[in-house]
Amino acid sequence: MPELPEVETTRRGIAPYLEGREITEVRVRNRRLRVPVPEDLEARLVGARVGSITRRAKYLRLPIEGQGTLLWHLGMSGSLRIARVGDTPKKHDHVDVITDEGSVLRYHDPRRFGFVDWQQGDETRDPRLVHLGPEPLGEAFDGEWLYRLSRGKRVAVKPFLMDNKVVVGAGNIYATEALFIAGIDPRRSAGRISRARYDHLATAVKEVLAAAITQGGTTLRDFVSGQGEPGYFAQRLNVYGRHDQPCPRCHTRLKRITLGQRASVFCPGCQR
């Protein structure tokens, strides 16, 4: 599943081809996505201009000047790529948004768990966005925030960190890596971790996500950037996917467990 760095990489990749451009055509080949593609999408978009593209959690927001916003989610296997007019669509290329300059924003999704939907009015009222926690790279997210929300929580710290109401974007890969950098055992009760250790964890989350964005995301089976290139952050993973290998810090054999129905890898030697 594309995580926050993959979505941010996509945003940065498609923005130069779309922002300020007029939409001249919309082609919908399959409306049967997780949320059906709106029947009036073509009528809304053709002739309108795209504003500055933003991201909220793993949602991409494409403002359509004077009308509303396209809300895009990539689901488990979706990707947005830039093509050119005349490029032959592939199987599972469901939606094209074509600009006056000849660029094509092409949505590819084999599993069809993603969606493109129309958002009218204030985003804070959208039920998909209203309960989201702060952005991990923003000022609102820090150790004090984690410490305050964790008080009285018996849940393990890793699923606590992965809760989108706590912070958005700390998915399985990045939570695993951040906990390793901070030296925190993912099994520890969230409510029993000190403020100082949460300061280290918040810093680690920021570091690992910023590095992943710089590297273009994590190389996963389905993920590619806006230009169709794979991410490369997987080359720098310390523990995720490396169970039974030596810890890069203390050389203890890395252990794999299951937390919150998700696989987790950690070092029993230096994560406490």
Q: Is 249 a catalytic residue?
A: no
Mean per-residue pLDDT, 242-257:
97
Q: Is 94 annotated as a binding residue?
A: no
Share of the chain above pLDDT 90, in %: 81
Quote the pLDDT of residue 226: 52
Q: Is 91 annotated as a binding residue?
A: no
Lowest-pLDDT range, 216-220, 236-240, 245-249? 216-220
> Does the pLDDT value for residue 220 go beyond 60?
no
**Reading across the β-sheet that carries 23-28, which strands appear in turn?**
23-28, 93-99, 103-108, 79-84
Out of 3, 6, 8, 177, which one is annotated catalytic? 3
pLDDT tens-digit map of 77-122: 999 999 999 999 999 999 999 999 999 999 999 999 999 999 887 6
How many Cα neighbours within 13 Å face the side chain of 251? 0
Q: How far is CA 190 from CA 76, 92, 124, 178, in A?
A: 28, 41, 28, 15
Out of 55, 58, 61, 81, which one is annotated catalytic? 58
**Full set of structural domains in the chain with CATH:** 4-125 (3.20.190.10), 143-266 (1.10.8.50)
Rounded distance between C-alpha atoms, residue 15 and residue 62, angstroms: 9
Residue 174 pLDDT level (bands cut at 50, 70, 90):
very high
> Does the pLDDT value for residue 23 go beyond 70?
yes
Q: Is 91 a catalytic residue?
A: no
Out of 56, 112, 188, 262, which one is annotated catalytic? 262
Q: Is 139 a catalytic residue?
A: no
Q: Is 134 a catalytic residue?
A: no
Query: CB under 8 Å to 267, separation ≥6 — which residues?
Result: 180, 239, 247, 249, 250, 252, 254, 255
DSSP assignments along 32-61, one per residue: -SSSPPPTTHHHHHTT-BB---EEETTEEE
pLDDT tens-digit map of 34-46: 999 999 999 999 9
- Amino acid identity, position 127: P
> Does the pLDDT value for residue 175 go beyond 90?
yes
Burial class (CB in 10 A: 0-12, 13-18, 19+), 43: exposed
Helix (H) or strand (E) holding 262, with range, is strand 262-266
pLDDT tens-digit map of 124-158: 678 889 999 999 999 999 999 999 999 999 999 99
Quote the pLDDT of residue 236: 75
> Does the pLDDT value for residue 231 go beyond 70?
no
Q: Is 111 annotated as a binding residue?
A: yes
Quote the pLDDT of residue 234: 56
Quote the pLDDT of residue 235: 56
Can you tell me which residue has the tokens 């991201």? 55
Out of 2, 5, 63, 159, which one is annotated catalytic? 2
Q: Contact, 19 vs 51, CB < 8 A?
A: yes
pTM confidence score:
0.88
